[in-house]
Amino acid sequence: MKKTIALSAAVLALSAVFTAPAFARDVEYQIPLEDVLKMPEAQAKLDGSVKFYLSGSNTPAIEQTLGEDRSHGTANGSVKEELAGCHAAALSSLLAFQAKAKKLGANAVVDIHSFFKNEVTKSPTTVECHAGTFRIHVVLKASYAKVAAQ
């Protein structure tokens, strides 16, 4: 009798685990790109040879496009304050764009927009950040270009 009760309790517990909806944490933030660019870490790591322009922002005349790309910046969500983590993840994306732009001979990354879970979100001032339980994500899509000097 005790084995039957224990077995029934175990089956019930397991069924509750597998039938309960998943409650994954996903908090969305819109962070100004300008705030990311003003961070001391950004000032130290972004060398100024590549400029960044969000979709819809004033962009100098594009002389040549050199392809498009996607960048996925992440930060550890369990130790950082969420907005600081969002800024760190966005900076990570920008650093990846800067490195590839230099390889391609581009002086700008243009039409930058959020591309989280393949959903496009365009803003002339902000990028989208998603804070989960353990990771913070910024996924950006953009094009590399040579732009006229400003």
Kindly list the structural domains of the chain, giving each domain's residue range(s) and its CATH number in brackets, ordered by start: 24-147 (3.30.110.70)
Q: Which amino acid is at 142?
A: A
Provide the CA 52 distance to its chain's centre, in angstroms. 15
pLDDT (tens digit per residue) in 9-43: 444 444 444 434 445 788 999 999 999 999 999 99
Q: What is the pTM of this model?
A: 0.81
Average pLDDT over residues 77-104: 92
Question: So what's the pLDDT on residue 140?
Answer: 98
Q: How many CB atoms lie within 10 A of CB 55?
A: 18
Instruction: Give the pLDDT band (50/70/90) at residue 133.
Output: confident
